[in-house]
Amino acid sequence: MGEFDLIKRYFSRKSLQNEVILSVGDDCAITSISAGYQLAITTDTLVEGTHFLPSISPAALAYKSVAVNLSDLAAMGATPTWVSLALTLPEIKEAWLAEFSQSLFAILDRYSMSLIGGDTTKGPLSITLTAQGFLPENQGLFRHQAKVGDWIFVSGFLGDSAAGLDLLLQNRKIENESDRYFIQRHLHPTPRVELGLALRAFSCCALDISDGLLADLGHILERSQVGAEIYLENLPLSHHLCTQYEQTQAEKFALTGGEDYELCFTVSEEKREEMEQVLRSQGIKVTCIGQILPATSGLNLLKNGKKMALPTHIGFDHFS
């Protein structure tokens, strides 16, 4: 099977949106954007051995490749629309491709997205996706827009994905419900698209937690030129994490583990109560974990009012 046969068999189908004028099969895809909207664009590369283990199934790999890009769009408050896929394969395995493409289109369909182009090459296994989404003008969530006095929130639970990766790296036998839950949270994170859309009415500042809460929150503090305090007792830790790990390890996973793909965002005092009511009515779990302070305060960890030391290693860095 050649490159173009591979594309035609596994990755070509009619686009879902009217805005897609030309899709897979030409030198470029052609799309249109409605008046009053901007285009949010994100790219993520997943490399075997760095972002995923060789043992990952093609279905899980396809899902996670899309999910991490959806998480970026969610963090901006954008509505997902299209993706482009660059797939590098060491060899053509039709069973692998069939499972990968079926899972890929399943998650794209779930979020009404279209695959509009990409590339296929031979080499070590890696996947690069570029995802695009519509964002109404002047309604985006940006890292540089946190204000002193804002409350810091996170969605979902933190640390579960790091626990799942810990299990996989140790090659431990999966023995109970909690182990299966951790693995699921690592391989199948939930992109918080609905939350990102809802936050456009209440927040101006958000990002997704991919490298660890402290590392990613640090990007907000740097871009917004502010400080923050985090209340450790408020960290949203799942029942599974609290029962399977000591408190200090659970907190470490939550603060520095990464790959939760939850949203961290800020909300003003004036909009906090309304936001909590709206999200509660929609069944979206969010937790207030701290507050934005002046830049001179830096980043502080507090536990029941007592200042705690920052971890030496605060998150994932490709080159550290």
State the binding site.
Answer: 27, 42-44, 51, 72, 118-119, 143, 208, 210-211, 259, 316
Instruction: Report the binding-site residues for substrate.
Output: 51, 259, 316
The one-character DSSP state at 133 is: E
The number of helix segments (H) and strand segments (E) in the chain equals: 10, 13
| Closest to 184 in 3D by CA, of 88, 96, 57 | 57
Query: CA torsion 59→63→65→68, rounded to 10°?
Result: -160
| Closest to 211 in 3D by CA, of 201, 200, 224, 220 | 220
Query: CA torsion 94→99→103→106, rounded to 10°?
Result: 80
Name the residue type at position 23.
S
| Closest to 71 in 3D by CA, of 236, 218, 262 | 262
Instruction: Report the binding-site residues for ATP.
Output: 118-119, 143, 210
Distance CA 143, CA 206 (A): 6
Name the residue type at position 140.
G
Contact criterion met (CB below 8 Å) for 54 and 112: no
Instruction: Report the binding-site residues for Mg(2+).
Output: 27, 42-44, 72, 119, 208, 211
Beta-carbon-side half-sphere exposure of residue 283 (alpha carbons within 13 Å): 0
Distance CA 58, CA 106 (A): 13
Distance CA 71, CA 193 (A): 7
Burial code (b: 16+ CB inside 10 Å, e: under 16) for 257-293 equals bbbbbbbbbbbeeebeeebbeebeeeebebbebbbbb
Tokens 């199934």 locate to: 57
**How far apart, in Å, do the first and last CA atoms of the chain sit?**
40
